[in-house]
Structure 1
Amino acid sequence: MRLHGAALGWDILLAPINVMLSPVFVLTRIAAGLCDRIGMRRVAIWLSERRILLRTAVARRVELCIVTDLLDLSMPQGAAARDPDALSRAVLAAPQFREWIRARQSTADAQALGRSISEALGDYAGTRSAVAEITTALISLTLGALVFHALTPGMISMAPGIANAVAQTNAIAEFPMGQSLGGLWYGLFPTGAGPWLITATVTCLVMIGSVVAAFAGILVDPVQSRLGIHRRRLMRLIDTLEDELCGPGSKPFAAREHYYARLLDLWDAGASLLRLFRN
């Protein structure tokens, strides 16, 4: 609850933007991996350094907790929000990293190390948006199964069902011969929602979904902690930091949660297409 207190504000608006940007993030990471395999090292580095996702206040707080509590670096609260390079400078100024930084061949290599560690921490904190997206999809899936008896792994796939229910209720309420006969009539001849009602429903559901996504960690963080997901993700981050400091720096942090969220998107798109063709 204390962690997500930072979500009150702009995070509610940033959540749906990050949902839209998440496929771009996945594509850049896939492209970076392919370029690295075929020998286009500079292009791969440039792609991997792109910060696609917008940093939320909760993500900045998570980064600060890791920097101060895990890495034991000195960094004032709010410094990362004021200066994007503050984390990189904190890494370069850390006495516990001085030996590895001095081993770098040049100042540019040392600065690249600071940026790499900063990017790894940013990718780690950015997984929260993907987990929030997955949580929102699971909530939508559960509500769709309970209310509409249909698979709705996304707000968009849930919108037609809600819009049709609203249209049906309004039609029954406005039936000229009363609601009882209206219920019988529209039970035999159901009415459908128009495009404007569906559009308005999608807009409302996206707004509700953004609020759910901003505070989804309150529900899912205890579950991840109990299942050991938090620990395994943190160990992957530590492996990446160790490789950056002591190794060749060829082991980027694997943000797997974004790929899981894209699988839900594909499921949602497939269900929507199937429903369209069936209609």
Structure 2
Amino acid sequence: MPELSPDTDAALIAAARAYFAERRARVPGFVRERFGLRGTLRLHRHALGWDILKAPLNVMLSPVLILSRLAAWGAGRAGAPRIARWLASRRILLPTAVARATERAIVVDLLELPWDGPGRASERDALARAILANPTLARLVATRREAGAVSARALSDYGGTRSAVAEMTTALGTIGAGAVAFQSLTPGMVSFAPGLAAVLAQQAAIAAFPLGGLLGSAWYGVFPAVVSPWLTAGLTLGLVALGALVAAFAGVIADPVQAALGLHRRRLNRLIDAMEDAFTGEGRRGFAAREHYLARLLDLSDAGLAAIRLLTP
């Protein structure tokens, strides 16, 4: 790694900070254009394809992602930085077309850097212009060899947050549906399925009552129909698959809401902070994908409520 004088190093860092400050100034306009209703509809056109299959798989892989990140943190605390870096660099989630389109938009339109992925490269290169305006900035890039890898990992983790937010959006939908239909808390399809199975079993029993539907309603109002465990299991599997499918397009609703609440803006600023630290600091301020942990908490509460209802007579 080339050695730099303190004065030169300070100049390089100042030039890099100016570049990232310009990126932060572009965030509000970028969010309005890309994550408003029109922008997210354009973005989710990419979901019409293999994303429909990848979305359910990413739901199942999300716990593995959390475990790998926790293991990386533990290895770092235990004094094993190489293992920590290896674990942190693993890409667990399958890359979806929507996530790639989001990453491309961030790189090309927000960071104004050339896009090396699929598609046409941008002619705009803000970093190249900054280097030309201040050639010493090129030496900063040369002395921060791992900064590019750290930034790419942060960008990948940012793209992965979309699957977690989609899961949470679906969970909020089931909570609302459970509150209206069953007057109970249903933070996921697993806890929603038993209530739906009970309704279907009740309606089927009333329809099959030999003395007619009116007397059947009265009878099963006093003696509720027995719910088959096979019906509950089948509905659970079907609803989980449906929820994962819906998650592929949940961003159409989630993106405008997050934009209005400022969540997209704050998340992008955290991403830029992590990239800036990779180039100007010690690389310790990584991008934390907190949404995955919130999604897993919803999964645990969903499974816990379902277990309590199954065990409660």
1:145 to 176, 179, 186: 179
Aligned to 1:49: 89
Aligned to 1:29: 69
Structure 2 residue identity aligned to 1:75 = W
Between Structure 1 and Structure 2, how many residues are aligned? 263
Deviation of 1:199 after TM superposition, in Å, equals 2.2
Deviation of 1:264 after TM superposition, in Å, equals 1.1
Higher relative contact order (CA 8 A, sep 6+): 2
Pick the structure with greater CA Rg: 2
Provide the C-alpha distance between the structure 1 equivalents of 2:245 and 2:184, rounded to a whole number of angstroms. 23
Query: What is the RMSD of the two structures over their aligned residues, measured on CA atoms?
Result: 2.1
Give the 3 Å change call, closer, same or farther, for CA 192–100 of structure 1 in structure 2: farther
Give the unaligned 5+ runs of structure 1.
81-85, 105-109
Aligned to 2:45: 5
Provide the C-alpha distance between the structure 2 equivalents of 1:20 and 1:67, rounded to a whole number of angstroms. 28
Structure 2 residue identity aligned to 1:198 = T
Aligned to 2:239: 205
Aligned to 1:122: 156
The reply on whether 1:220 has 2:272 as its aligned counterpart is no
Provide the C-alpha distance between the structure 2 equivalents of 1:29 and 1:79, rounded to a whole number of angstroms. 30
Q: Secondary structure at the match of 1:74?
A: coil
Aligned to 1:107: none
Deviation of 1:210 after TM superposition, in Å, equals 2.1
Give the 3 Å change call, closer, same or farther, for CA 183–216 of structure 1 in structure 2: same
Provide the C-alpha distance between the structure 2 equivalents of 1:103 and 1:125, rounded to a whole number of angstroms. 27
Give the 3 Å change call, closer, same or farther, for CA 62–26 of structure 1 in structure 2: same
Structure 2 residue identity aligned to 1:39 = G
Give the % identical residues.
Answer: 54
Q: Normalized against structure 1, the TM-score is what?
A: 0.88
Deviation of 1:195 after TM superposition, in Å, equals 2.3
Deviation of 1:202 after TM superposition, in Å, equals 1.5
Residues 173-188 of structure 1: pairs in structure 2 closer than 5 A? 173-188=207-222
Provide the C-alpha distance between the structure 2 equivalents of 1:207 and 1:94, rounded to a whole number of angstroms. 46
Q: Normalized against structure 2, the TM-score is what?
A: 0.79
Aligned to 2:204: 170
Residues 229-268 of structure 1: pairs in structure 2 closer than 5 A? 229-268=263-302
Provide the C-alpha distance between the structure 2 equivalents of 1:94 and 1:153, rounded to a whole number of angstroms. 48
Deviation of 1:94 after TM superposition, in Å, equals 5.6
The reply on whether 1:101 has 2:141 as its aligned counterpart is yes
Provide the C-alpha distance between the structure 2 equivalents of 1:211 and 1:178, rounded to a whole number of angstroms. 39
Q: Secondary structure at the match of 2:103?
A: helix
